[in-house]
């Protein structure tokens, strides 16, 4: 469960429902804590990160790195959103 101490909120998060995970937390970028001085933005090389993202997205996960308020450590299992986006793109 996502506790207020860690999430800064009393609301339940996607993590609370076991549909979200954060990976490589110490080396990831999060819009609220962006550090311009940080030189190594990720311990993954760009190719490795994109490969991981591709694998997750192929299986219906959404990557937080694509969000306006980005969260590169965050992956969320939301197949209903992925299906809706695919349907909308087919309709034009």
Residue-wise pLDDT tens digits, 22-81: 887 676 665 555 554 544 444 455 678 889 999 999 999 999 888 888 888 899 998 888
Instruction: Give the model's pLDDT for residue 30.
Output: 59
Long-range Cβ contacts of 60-64 (<8 Å, 24+ apart): none
Structural domain tally of the chain? 1
How far is 49 from 42, CA to CA, in rounded Å? 8
Q: Model pTM? A: 0.65
Residue 45, domain extent:
4-91
């Amino acid at each position: 469960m996502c506790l207020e101490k860690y999430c800064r909120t009393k609301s339940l998060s996607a993590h609370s429902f076991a549909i979200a995970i954060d990976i490589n937390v110490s080396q990831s970028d999060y819009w609220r804590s962006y550090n311009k001085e940080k030189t190594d933005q990720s311990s993954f090389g760009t190719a490795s990160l994109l490969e991981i993202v591709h694998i997750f997205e192929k299986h219906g996960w959404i990557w937080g790195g694509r969000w306006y308020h980005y969260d590169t450590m965050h992956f969320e299992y939301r197949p209903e959103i992925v299906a809706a986006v695919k349907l909308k793109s087919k309709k034009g």
